[in-house]
């Protein structure tokens, strides 16, 4: 009896000391994988892996024998790879190449199975049964991307149909129906703008943003992987930092998580440690210095950083000049800061655009400070500044050439 109890205790102790693969920290590095599969009608054809991001980089290969295959080996790191089942042209064989992305990681099983064939031997649909959560999440994510594509396409088609109907309506409107005509034209323009906005959306980016915030994926390496498709901004870095903090401990030290955290922390550090707008004193064409203190009682200060050599500056700055009277009524003054190297270039460009005395030439030190600290990569740039504190409230102020400019500005004023 004592021996029996001793054996039970020994077995229990051994089991408690054996690590569960699910609890084993994932830290990247070399992985060992094995993919098994059953494929009919394709005896002797190739099965291999290739890099998901570089199709020229191929890895271990094998062939189908007796309707089955085993593909195993080592890879430098876990991640997304593409499993290829390929049949070359031969007697009675139609060539095909079936590609199935899969997330390979240690301590997981992968079993490939064909769901449907066409034309006898061509694989039309297949799946991988796996114990890898990252792979299962990858499969679900790819379906979500397809769903987003279909959703965006349906919305764009709907807007296109609406524009066609409005166009037909315009042909029926006659004298005395000016109001209806105007409403139809306005809606056509709005629908066209909506359509352009939707067309610019990337389904993968949209699906990634939805995926990573889902608590169901906190232990999946797909979550940090998808951060590569997400743009981290001032209005979302806190949310995504919280997502990374909530990931399961087993993946916290994985290179994918560390890379995602670095991406978020870089933006977080930029905004949280951004210096206030410098109390600079550049001069205008008459030699008068800028004194930012005179704007203390205004609601918002627009700082337009521009260049006379830049074609977008030449297009957009006149639009802002035309809106200055409207902005003044809202207690929103504008100052223009030029980055020209030569006084003559600035003077000539200013005259061409009809700039006033609120136009100043930056010296090298002030120019470098503004461009580097506020990440200005193209001109013109519009910084929205709180004139009382000189805090930059918006690094990417709305473009004055867009119809939404005044609406966006008024919304900003309501928040201040």
Distance CA 305, CA 311 (A): 13
So what's the architecture of 29-131 in CATH? Sandwich (2.60)
Q: At residue 12, does pLDDT exceed 80?
A: no
The three-state secondary structure class of 325 is helix
Distance CA 26, CA 22 (A): 9
Per-residue pLDDT for 6 more than 80?
A: no
Among the residue ranges 51-60, 82-91, 167-176, 285-294, the one predicted with the least confidence is 82-91
Q: Which two tokens stand for residue 103?
A: 């997330």
* Count of Cβ atoms closer than 10 Å to residue 177 Cβ: 13
Global model pTM greater than 0.85: no
Q: What mean pLDDT do residues 113-142 have?
A: 94
Q: Could you report the per-residue pLDDT of 272-301, keeping only the tens digit for each?
A: 888 999 999 999 999 999 999 999 999 999
| Residue 112 scores a pLDDT above 60 | yes
- Please list, in sequence order, all residues whose beta carbon lies within 8 angstroms of the beta carbon of residue 66, skipping any fewer than 6 positions away: 43
End-to-end alpha carbon distance in the chain:
79
Q: Residue 19 — pLDDT band, cuts 50, 70, 90?
A: very low
Specify the pLDDT at position 92.
67
212-228 pLDDT, tens digit each: 999 999 999 999 999 99
Give the separation between CA 82 and CA 138, rounded to whole angstroms.
12
- Name, in order, each residue with C-beta under 8 angstroms of 223's C-beta and a sequence gap of 6 or more: 137, 211, 212, 217, 243, 247, 251
Which pLDDT does position 22 carry in this prediction? Answer: 64
Q: DSSP letters along 86-151, please?
A: EE--BTTB--EEEEEEEEE-TT--EEEEEEEEETTTEEEEEEEEES-HHHHHHHHHHHHHHHHHHH
| Residue 61: pLDDT band with limits 50, 70, 90 | very high
Q: Evaluate if residue 8 carries a pLDDT over 80.
A: no
Whole-angstrom Cα distance, residue 284 to residue 282? 7
According to CATH, where is 3.40.30.10 located in the chain? 292-415
Mean pLDDT along residues 232-249: 95
* Alpha helices (H) along 173-254: 178-199, 203-212, 222-225, 237-245
Model confidence pLDDT, tens digit, residues 20-53: 556 788 999 999 999 999 998 778 889 999 999 8
Closest CA to 142 of 189, 211, 236, 40: 211
CB 268 within 8 A of CB 243: no
- Residue ranges, CATH 2.60.40.10, the chain: 29-131
Question: What integer pLDDT is reported at residue 44 of this predicted model?
Answer: 82
| Average pLDDT estimate for 253-265 | 97
Summary mean pLDDT of the chain: 91
Residue that the structure tokens 């830049």 belong to: 310
Does domain 292-415 fall into CATH 3.40.30.10?
Answer: yes
> Which residue is listed with tokens 């400019």?
405
How confident is the model over 377-406, as a mean pLDDT?
A: 93
Tokens 């084993």, residue located: 24
**In whole angstroms, what is the distance from residue 149 CA to residue 114 CA?**
25
Identify the pLDDT of residue 88. Answer: 82
Reported confidence tier of residue 91, pLDDT bands at 50, 70, 90 = low
Of the candidate ranges 105-109, 171-175, 352-356, the one whose mean pLDDT is the lowest: 171-175
Query: Which residues, 6 or more positions from 315, have their beta carbon under 8 angstroms from its beta carbon?
Result: 401
3-state secondary structure of 225: helix
Cis peptide before 380 (omega within 30 of 0): yes
Share of the chain above pLDDT 90, in %: 76
């Amino acid at each position: 009896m004592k021996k029996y109890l001793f054996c039970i205790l020994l077995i229990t102790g051994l089991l408690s000391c054996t690590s569960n693969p699910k609890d084993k920290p994932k830290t990247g590095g070399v992985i060992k994988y094995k993919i098994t599969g059953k494929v009919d009608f394709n005896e002797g054809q190739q099965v291999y892996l290739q890099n998901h991001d570089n199709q020229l980089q191929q890895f271990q290969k094998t062939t189908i024998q007796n309707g089955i295959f085993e593909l195993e080996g080592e890879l430098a790191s876990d991640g997304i790879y593409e499993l290829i089942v390929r049949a070359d042209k031969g007697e009675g064989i139609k060539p095909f190449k079936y590609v199935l992305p899969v997330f390979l990681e240690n301590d997981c099983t992968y079993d490939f199975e064909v769901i449907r064939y066409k034309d006898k031997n061509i694989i039309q649909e297949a799946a991988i049964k796996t114990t890898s959560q990252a792979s299962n999440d990858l499969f679900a994510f790819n379906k979500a991307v397809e769903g987003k594509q279909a959703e965006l396409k349906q919305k764009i088609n709907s807007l296109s149909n609406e524009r066609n109907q409005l166009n037909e309506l315009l042909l029926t409107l006659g004298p005395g129906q000016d109001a209806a005509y105007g409403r139809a034209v306005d809606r056509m323009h709005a629908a066209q703008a909506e359509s352009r906005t939707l067309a610019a959306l990337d389904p993968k980016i949209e699906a990634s943003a939805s995926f990573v915030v889902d608590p169901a994926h906190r232990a999946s390496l797909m979550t940090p992987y998808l951060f590569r498709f997400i743009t981290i901004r001032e209005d979302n870095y806190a949310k995504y930092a919280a997502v990374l903090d909530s990931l399961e401990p087993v993946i916290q030290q994985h290179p994918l998580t560390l890379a995602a955290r670095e991406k978020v922390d870089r933006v977080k550090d930029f905004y949280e440690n951004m210096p206030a707008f410098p109390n600079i004193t550049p001069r205008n064409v008459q030699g008068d210095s800028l004194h930012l203190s005179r704007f203390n009682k205004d609601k918002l200060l627009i700082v337009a950083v521009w260049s006379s050599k830049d074609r977008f500056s030449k297009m957009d700055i006149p639009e802002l000049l035309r809106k200055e009277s409207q902005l003044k009524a809202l207690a929103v003054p504008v100052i223009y800061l030029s980055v020209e190297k030569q006084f003559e270039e600035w003077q000539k460009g200013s005259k061409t655009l009809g700039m006033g005395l609120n136009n100043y030439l930056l010296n090298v030190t002030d120019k470098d400070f503004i461009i580097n600290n506020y990440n200005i990569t193209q001109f013109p740039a519009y910084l929205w500044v709180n004139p009382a504190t000189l805090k930059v409230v918006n690094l990417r102020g709305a473009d004055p050439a867009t119809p939404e400019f005044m609406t966006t500005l008024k919304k900003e004023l309501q928040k201040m």
